[in-house]
Amino acid sequence: MKLVFLHIEKSAGTSQRQMLKIALGDENVAWFEIDWSSEVFDLGLFEDALIIGGHRRYNFYQNQNLVYLAVIREPYSRVLSLYNYYREHQLSYWKEHGLDEEDINITLKRCQLFRNVIDNAQCEYISGSKNFDDTKSHILANKYLVADFSRIDDFNTTLSLNLGVKFCEPSRSNVGTKGYQDNILINKESEEILTTLLAEDIKLYNFISEKGIVDTTDESDWRELRSKVSNLQK
């Protein structure tokens, strides 16, 4: 039994990784493209790791005996944050694909890659499907702990209790420039594009935010994970 953190871009995953490594030990937390990299997932490579994470969707892990963690962010806010991150940190790459560093409206109109990246991506991260109904059914039928971004402190408290470990206050890593969203204006055409590209993610966000936290993992599984954490601390 292991944990997988489905690190949705611009949803506090980097801060969560740092918090988990401090609490559990660097060797017990493996993050894709930081601690390891592979085209396919091999659980045998992670005998020592308790938590595996990174920018990889559910389908990458092939539904093995795993408990999945995720933080869902309000879709429009996530898109603005992602756009800001790309123009601040990956500008040369994204400009080649049509990103305009001054205007998100131009980006949404001419950058197919950006549209592909945001296309109901949170549903796809969680379930492998871009459809909300499929994603909701998938969450309820499997082992998940999912929370609304605004409830991340409650998410960490719940995870802390379930694992029997105390977390430090996570730092806010990869945070965009203060007030940047106020300077990103969306026109009517872009609103129509986003309405289509985010429709299923909005349904997912509303479902999660209404509940705050969704925990579909059996107590017996949390008990097994608490035992593993306890053994790590001996």
pLDDT per position as a tens digit, 111-169: 999 999 999 999 999 999 999 999 999 999 999 999 999 999 999 999 999 999 999 87
Band the pLDDT of 180: cuts 50, 70, 90.
Answer: low
Buried-state track 180-198, b at ≥16 Cβ within 10 A, e below 16: beeebeeeeebeebbeebb
Grouping H, G, I as helix, E, B as strand and the rest as coil, residue 214 is: strand
Residue indicated by tokens 């609490």: 23
Do the Cβ atoms of 29 and 49 come closer than 8 Å?
A: yes
**Predicted model pTM:** 0.92
**What domains are defined for the chain?**
2-232 (3.40.50)
